[in-house]
Amino acid sequence: MSDNKTIKVSEISELIKKQLQQIDIESYYEETGKVLEVGDGVVRIYGLTNAEANELLEFENGVKAIAMNLEEDNVGAVLLGPTHLIKEGFTVKRTGRVASIKVSEKMLGRVINPLGEPIDGKGKIDGEFFEMPLERKAPGVIFRQPVEEPLQTGLKAIDSMIPIGRGQRELIIGDRQTGKTSIAVDTIINQLDNFKAGDPVYCIYVATGQKGSTVATLFNTLKDFGAIPYTILVVATAADSAALRYLSPYAGAAIGEYFRDTGRHALVVYDDLSKQAIAYRELSLILRRPPGREAYPGDIFYLHSRLLERAAKIINQQEVAKQMNDLPECLKGKVKPGGSLTALPIIETQAGDISAYIPTNVISITDGQIFLDTDLFNEGNRPSIDVGISVSRVGGNAQIKPMKKVAGTLKTDQAQFRELEAFTKFGSEMDAVTAMTIDKGQKNTQLLIQSLHRPLSVEKQVALLYCGTHGLLANIPLHKVKEFEENFINLLDYSYKEKILNEIKKGNFDEKVTSSIEEAAEILKKQMNY
């Protein structure tokens, strides 16, 4: 045999080695399951033994679901799409991801569903996306700061007596048709000045279980008042599945967290959490979880507490803030300190019963509540706030100094006046002191009445309330108080901008300012012949 035909063993082994190196020996393991039964927005799946709680599952036709019940022989999942698209025997695979929403800056001014898809017919949302988990642990105590910065609502009654601070959770509670949504909408409209000044409070309005027409009206209102550029609407209407209604507040919180953790301020309105609780009860009963009080599942308190705890004011120290617990991957390296997320949950009561299950739950989680009374509403006292029951547990910390000085005793005065008024209805004669107290209380009540979507800047509020609390309205008849108010605001705008409004804005409230307010009130009273 000639040399050129000799086969060298070493060459062969080298060749085999090279070829073996090119082979990818990693095995791919994909866990799949089969749909056992489907109905009412809930699917039972066999075969996903390693599925995790809140994991995102995907069906062969692309519809997604979230694993909720992890039982021994099957997984109960809630559908994120229409039930009729899923059939028995469909294959399901695990995604290995928790349920999340892709958040983008370009969402501002848009209407989206809880999955982050636009539903306003204005085409798809572009821009850089950040995948924020729907469920996330709230920031730990170390990463929080006490609430000190005010979030102005523009409503005299709230900013003076029940102030809301950035990072606070303030519950709005009352029967239907008492103006709960109006308070939240006015608060959003009032952030326009901040937006123009380049320090925006980004607003997320979550509409859960409402009519589509109601949401459309609300969108148009915000548009008319120029609030849309800094607002995102997350909508799960009454026609949507229970799963979407249950997830909608979480989607709102996740979007708010994106703004908060990147060092900005956000406000999220949950309108309303009673409808989310109903959606969760619906899902739980279909998933055969044991019912508790009022047929709600046992973990309904936990549902709301883990949602509302996510509202926070983040510490203003970069080194500490960037170590925040449970940070999503997409935010690592992007965290900035000093951001805040303020939550305004709304709860609907039945016949003013705040001791029902869901209201008491949410009252105990939040930092105060604004209670709206039907009788006051019908009397024309709007916003119809019951001062006796309403409270802000942050209180004066969330007020500017001038407001603190003016409104210090206003809340107790008004509560006492209400009691006194009720008491004097029985008696015929009143002494001079009681008559004066009642007169002052009635005029202050008139001052605190505010028209719909007419928020006032805090400087004007302070000047007005000073007139009320310091008895400058004593000679003015009750029916003329509103007229006085309008003329007084116009006078401030035209003649006292420097002397009064700008000084209050700076936080000054000395004798100079108060005497200017008294001067302006006297001028006006002369003009009105009082």
d(CA 360, CA 483): 40
Helices 242-261 + 273-286 axis angle, to 10: 130
| Of 355, 367, 354, 346, residue with least CA distance to 183 | 346
Please answer whether residues 95 and 58 qualify as being in contact, where contact means their C-beta atoms are separated by less than 8 angstroms. Answer: yes
Structure tokens at 210: 């409402």
Task: Mark whether 306 is an active-site residue.
Answer: no
d(CA 503, CA 509): 7
d(CA 302, CA 241): 22
d(CA 130, CA 381): 44
d(CA 500, CA 503): 5
Which one of 306, 393, 418, 454 is the catalytic residue?
A: 393
Rg (CA), the chain: 29
d(CA 330, CA 132): 8
- For residue 236, the cross-strand partners are 208
3-state class (DSSP) for residue 36: strand
| Of 256, 253, 203, 264, residue with least CA distance to 230 | 203
Task: Indicate if the alpha-carbon torsion angle 148, 154, 160, 161 is positive or negative.
Answer: negative
| Of 404, 400, 352, residue with least CA distance to 376 | 352
Structure tokens at 504: 């209050």
What is the identity of the amino acid at 206?
V
| Of 414, 396, 502, residue with least CA distance to 459 | 502
d(CA 165, CA 30): 48
Please answer whether residues 521 and 488 qualify as being in contact, where contact means their C-beta atoms are separated by less than 8 angstroms. Answer: yes
Please answer whether residues 345 and 362 qualify as being in contact, where contact means their C-beta atoms are separated by less than 8 angstroms. Answer: yes
Residues serving a catalytic function are 393
